[in-house]
Structure 1
Amino acid sequence: MTTPIKLYRNPKSGHCHRVELMLALLRLPYETIDLDMANGAHKAPDFLAISPFGLVPAIDDGGYTLADSNAILVYLVQTYAAGSHWLPAAPRDAAEVQRWLTVAADNIYSGPCAARLVKVFGVPLDHPASVQKAHDLFKVMDAHLQGRDWLATEAMTIADVAGYSYIAHAPEGGVDLGPYPGIRAWLSRIEAQPGFVGMATSPIPELA
């Protein structure tokens, strides 16, 4: 592979960061293209040709375009690391990965992601409800991570990549990670991986 994969993104989006993190962990060459979303760049005709719903992230891999962060994770691993620990083929392991991808799209989105959208981007959502959903999720996750290193299997998978960004940045949304040692240790393990790249940070609000 010689041509870098183009990643269209907002640099403070956790959805975009999970794709960049996967690209970095796989050591794939890529270039980031930051969209001026405040001025509607994500609704421009040339970008809608890549991402029909006008959403980031989206990639262009040698002319193949794809939007949706979790779909992109599957594509990257199946294309460039097929048969690896990132996306196991064994039915039970594959099901566990899918379960946590669903958590990323549902519980993480409506919990720590939504809380951060309020504090960082000013999106008019119910912040107290989002914080409560985040803590409800984190209690389950923290218990799940007791005695294990990774979410889905005995090795790191795309489930861990999909979950990392918004949970690591939950404090930016006013969600305290202090009560969750299992989650904090899990985050540290991800951050210790060769090739790890972080996401742009925002000021952390005062916790009530």
Structure 2
Amino acid sequence: MESEGIVPLNNSIFNAKMANHTIDIYFFTMSPPSRAALLLMRALGLKHNIKIVNVLAGEQMNPEFIKINPLHTIPVINDGGFILPDSNAIMKYLVDQYAKDDSLFPRDPKKSAIVIQRLFFVSGYLFPRFVAYHLPTMKDGVKGAEEDLNKLNETFSMMDNYVQGQTWFAGNNMTVADFAAISLISTIYACGSCDISAHQNLFQWFQKTKTAMESFGYDEVMQAGAEAFGALYKSRLK
């Protein structure tokens, strides 16, 4: 299934190079990393084709997809024959290649290092702990282990400290780190599996970031996917 992305020509950061250029993105709405990459594409005003890979149906294991990405993960982009998996790598590439400035991924070594560290935090702490607690429910219909819930709440406390006293997840400007983090926080919140509001700084960041991303299509891309995951999680828990 394919659908052509809408190019926001009135977007102040729209790149004219994209007028006759389309990027394919292999995507599944329940996948937080997929949504992070797609929402960034929308933010950058990049024309795109969405190619659905239904993970629940095992389509990521189809031979034709494995030829594209031997890791059989999503998202993947195909930009004129340049194929790239991994949402963090994709977001870095898209900013470097198409953004009109470096605000979303700074070139300054110190600011860049903070963004990279936050991305590693999301992929190395938040994502695996999210999976560890929610997978038993999604797979077997049983509640995740208390130990895994405690580790997830520990991760929220770390994030709460990160955003204390600053506007965004990696500093005072919105960056790709915010896209990566909110893709998971929105999903967990939709599941109702953890009390994110107990972490005041993190919850304030979450609410503020949702509002800031509305003009990129937050509700259509991020919220819809999070709610779909949350609905499935709740149905399996019953």
Q: Which amino acid aligns with 2:122?
A: A
Displacement after TM superposition at 1:150 (Å): 0.8
Answer yes or no: is 1:158 the counterpart of 2:147: no
Summarize the Cα distance change of 1:169–1:30 in structure 2 as closer, same or farther, 3 Å threshold.
same
Displacement after TM superposition at 1:121 (Å): 5.0
Equivalent pair of 2:118/2:169 in contact (CA under 8 Å): yes
Deviations 1:2-37 (A, max 9, x none): 233211122101111111111111121222221133
Q: Distance in 1 between matches of 2:139 and 2:32?
A: 12
Which moved further from structure 2: 49-58 or 106-115? Answer: 106-115
Q: Does the residue aligned with 2:197 lie in a helix, a strand or coil?
A: coil
Displacement after TM superposition at 1:123 (Å): 8.7
Q: Distance in 1 between matches of 2:131 and 2:103?
A: 27
Q: Which runs of 5+ in 2 are unaligned?
A: 1-17
**Residue from 107, 115, 126 that aligns with 1:108:** 126
More helix as a share of residues: 2
Q: Which runs of 5+ in 1 are unaligned?
A: none
Answer yes or no: is 1:4 the counterpart of 2:22: yes
Displacement after TM superposition at 1:165 (Å): 0.9
Please name the residue that 1:46 is paired with: 64
Which moved further from structure 2: 94-103 or 104-113? Answer: 104-113
Q: Distance in 1 between matches of 2:141 and 2:107?
A: 39
Please name the residue that 2:9 is paired with: none
Displacement after TM superposition at 1:110 (Å): 2.1
Answer yes or no: is 1:177 the counterpart of 2:196: yes
Please name the residue that 1:195 is paired with: 216
Summarize the Cα distance change of 1:177–1:49 in structure 2 as closer, same or farther, 3 Å threshold.
same
Equivalent pair of 1:104/1:162 in contact (CA under 8 Å): yes
Summarize the Cα distance change of 1:173–1:57 in structure 2 as closer, same or farther, 3 Å threshold.
farther
Q: Which amino acid aligns with 1:184?
A: F
Q: How much identity, in percent, do the aligned residues show?
A: 26
Task: Tell me the TM-score normalized by structure 1.
Answer: 0.88
Q: Distance in 1 between matches of 2:161 and 2:33?
A: 25
Deviations 1:112-133 (A, max 9, x none): 3433333345599954333212
Task: Tell me the TM-score normalized by structure 2.
Answer: 0.78
Equivalent pair of 2:60/2:73 in contact (CA under 8 Å): yes
Q: Distance in 2 between matches of 1:93 and 1:86?
A: 11
Q: Distance in 1 between matches of 2:131 and 2:178?
A: 16
Alpha-carbon RMSD across the aligned residues, in angstroms, is 2.5
Summarize the Cα distance change of 1:25–1:97 in structure 2 as closer, same or farther, 3 Å threshold.
same
